[in-house]
Amino acid sequence: MASFSARGLILKRYPLGEKDKLCILFTHTYGKLRVSARGARQSSSKLAGVSEPMVILDAHLHQGTTFQVLVQAEAIETFPVIKTDIVLISYAMFLLELVDRLTEDEDPASDLYELLVRTLYLLGASRDPASLVLAAQWHVLHLTGYMPRIRECCMCDSRLDATAGLPFYAAHRGGVICHRCADGYRGETLAFTRPLQSVLHAIGDLMTPADWSSFTVADALKPMLWQLVRSHMKAMTDRDLKTMVFLDALRFDAIGKA
């Protein structure tokens, strides 16, 4: 049986049988792996603590038939600051779910791994975690190929003209439609206002996580951006992100944290 080592971040874990866990391990080198951690549901297991979401670990794995098998693991980072703050946990879990939802197994994505891990480090020290996460998620969409089209109309391909009528975001079209096409469109839409366009273009121009950690989205725009992300993800993957539902439940927008 072949064995190998990998550094990765646990995105999610499920119970597997009576005593084991199935972990979704997003590795730097190999992309997302499904990994069984035998005995890890028993508190006495050495794998119990390291086989939880939001832990970065150096894993020693055996190639299994259905899943990879976690043989040994050393926790490299557990993000204790994030884990003591319900708001930060919610944002972090949202990013983890987003990456899990938008990636395929065993498809190497080291850029995306770096983005996710650097964002988690920045999140713990961020003064405006909502802006950081809104910027980061936009770049996750870009790196995974799920970026909505926002510069041209998704129906007639015309470039959106700043002087023309108000365009609309149409999730099921995968982006924005111009005011002319919106006239006859019967699907769900959101007004794609000028401030919303500007902030998304500005986010797109931010090159690295260090750039977006100092970026601020105006509070008035945050609920609109969340709504756009939510409807986009629902249209792309046919269901709501579970963590998004939780974020809504906490009503971050109402208390100025969204």
Among 155, 190, 206, 250, binds Zn ion (CB under 5 A): 155
> H/E element holding 75?
strand 68-77
Q: How far is the CB of 152 from Zn ion (least distance, A)?
A: 8
Least Å from the CB of residue 164 to Zn ion: 10
Q: What is the 3-state secondary structure (H, E, C) of 148-190?
A: CECCECCCCCCECCCCCCCCEEEHHHCEEECHHHHHHCCCCCE
- Residue 182 contacts Zn ion per CB under 5 A: no
The only residue of 81, 86, 125, 156 in contact with Zn ion, by rule CB under 5 A: 156
Measured from the CB atom, is 92 or 178 closer to Zn ion? 178
Q: Which range in 87-95, 142-150, 173-181, 191-199 contacts Zn ion by CB under 5 A?
A: 173-181
**Cα–Cα dist 53/68, whole Å:** 17
160 binds Zn ion (CB under 5 A): no
- Interaction between residue 16 and Zn ion (CB under 5 A): no
Q: Greatest CA separation found in the chain?
A: 65
Is the distance from CB of 68 to CB of 45 less than 8 angstroms? no
Nearer CB in complex with Zn ion: 129/175 = 175
Burial of 205 per CB tally in 10 Å (0-12, 13-18, 19+): exposed
Phi, psi (deg, nearest 5) at residue 35 = -125, 130
Nearest distance from residue 173's CB to Zn ion, in Å?
Answer: 10
> Is residue 174 within the footprint of Zn ion (CB under 5 A)?
no
Smallest CA-to-CA distance from 26 within 124, 89, 105 is with: 105
Taking CB under 5 A as the criterion, the residue among 24, 153, 229, 233 binding Zn ion is: 153
Residues of this chain that interact with Zn ion (CB under 5 A) are 153, 155-156, 178, 181
